[in-house]
Chain A
Amino acid sequence: MQSFFEKLAELLGVEAGEVQAESVLDSFDEWDSLGALTVVSMIDEDYGVTVLSEELARLSTVGELWQQVQTGQSGPGANGA
């Protein structure tokens, strides 16, 4: 989980400590549609999970996003990472 937060911080251009489970995604300047593109792509590459557009729209915090990644890794069709 810690490394996920660090990767997010790097993509969102903030200090590692600024990304916490309770952080609201929309509160990051770089969390716009193109910024989200880099995050969804990282999750696919590093965790083997596709976060769908509809799923992303329902998530509000970093913790919920991490939960989604874990669900994707254990769910049907998961290809691990």
Chain B
Amino acid sequence: MNFTFRNMRIGGLLVVVPENESRYADEWDNYNFPVANSRKLQNVIGIDRHRLVTEGTCASDLALFGLRHLIDRGDLQPDEIDGLILVTETPDYFMPPTSSVIQGKLGLSQDMWCLDLNQGCAGFAVGLIQGFMMLQQESINRVVLVNADTLTRTCSPQDRNAYPLLGDAASIAILEPSADPATIHANLQMDGAQHEKIMIPAGGFRLPSTPDTAQVELASDGNYRGQDHYHMDGIAVLNFVQNQIPPLIENLLSTAATRLDEVDWFMFHQPNRFMLEKLADKLGVPRKKLPNDVVEHYGNASSVTIPTAITHTLGAGLTENTYKMCLCGFGVGLTCSSLLLQIGGLRFCEMMDYPSAQQETA
């Protein structure tokens, strides 16, 4: 499914990562594999260190920390926010929406639209599409797109298939009208038939969490996890990327009548360096135009990886320069989505640490 938008832009980008860092080399003893094997994977897959929240920190805590920072600094006016989208798989509660929790804690106007989106690794692209659709309404002039997840809290620390790759983070993107008439192109594909490929089986109403589902067991892939834990079929995700992403990008660029070499940056979701190198090769994109080192620096924080790739790679340079970027997210659903747009001249583009001592109260 294709989308187009005009006269809209990203006005600023902030990424919040927990200051608490864990090194893969310090986790080898947790895994049910020979250390030599774990060590080899470090270089092949691209794993080194990741940022994790400390106990009790929620996605909304990371988000509020960043939003308050922007408001205090005058980069975001609270009374100008007409829409607040929170993309998360790790909400504070089943109900109410966590976007409402954030709205309340910031004391924002009641004359606004708060919306939670349950999306994972495609969630920055899907959130942008949703935010741009909101901006098409005359009553909506500024949308704050928040992506926030604490996936490490859902994952078994004895699961080498996932734990060393994951991280926690939040990002805040300001979406606003623009005088630039250039068209933004977007597309998305959803394959719910594969919804079990990345999932947390227990804890919802289909399979409520019990002492049994919390029990950690040896899985067929040699890892220890329970049904309460995050589970990813890594090969199925690789298959999805191999088969779905090249045609998705081809469709996006042909719809936009844009050649591959006219794109300055390919800012993609970050599962790991290995998969992104192979994907760049398959697309025919020079590897240096498709950054791939987010996982080894911060971990894969679900929908926050694209903002992290942008701020980590370009940082404050994006306050002056403007680039044609192709964004692409893929994951839970299974969902994949891509956008082609100009990003630059931002009011802010930076990353900040969330102190471990910081803690919100309910």
Contacts and interface: CB of A to CB of B under 8 A. Distances in A.
B27 to A, nearest CB: 14
Nearest to B161: A33
A78 interface: no
B278 A32 contact: no
Interface in A1-48: 13, 29-30, 32-38, 40-41, 44-45
Interface of chain A, main secondary structure: helix
Contacts of B33: 29, 32
A73 interface: no
Contact of A45 (B221, B222, B234, B281): B281
Interface string B21-63: 0000000000001100100110011000000000000000000
Contacts, number: 66
Contacts of B160: 32, 34
A68 interface: no
Chain B contact residues, majority secondary structure? helix
A41 B238 contact: yes
Contacts of A34: 41, 44-45, 160-161, 234
A61 interface: no
A8 to B, nearest CB: 14
A interface, size bucket: 10 to 19
Contacts of A53: 197, 233, 235-236, 239
Nearest to B159: A33
A80 B28 CA distance: 39
B165 to A, nearest CB: 9
A37 B243 contact: no
A52 interface: yes
A30 B221 CA distance: 11
A50 B243 CA distance: 8
Contacts of A45: 278, 281-282
B313 interface: no
Contact of A38 (B44, B223, B282): B44
Contacts of A33: 161, 221-223, 234-235
Contact of B275 (A41, A50, A52, A56): A41
A30 B160 CA distance: 13
B242 interface: yes
A76 B117 CA distance: 38
Interface of B: 33-34, 37, 40-41, 44-45, 160-161, 197, 221-223, 233-236, 238-239, 242-243, 274-275, 278, 281-282
Given A37-B45, A51-B235, 11 more contacts: A13-B40, A29-B33, A29-B34, A29-B37, A30-B40, A34-B44, A36-B234, A37-B234, A37-B274, A44-B242, A45-B281
12 contacts: A29-B34, A30-B37, A32-B161, A34-B234, A37-B234, A37-B235, A37-B238, A38-B44, A40-B238, A44-B282, A45-B281, A53-B235
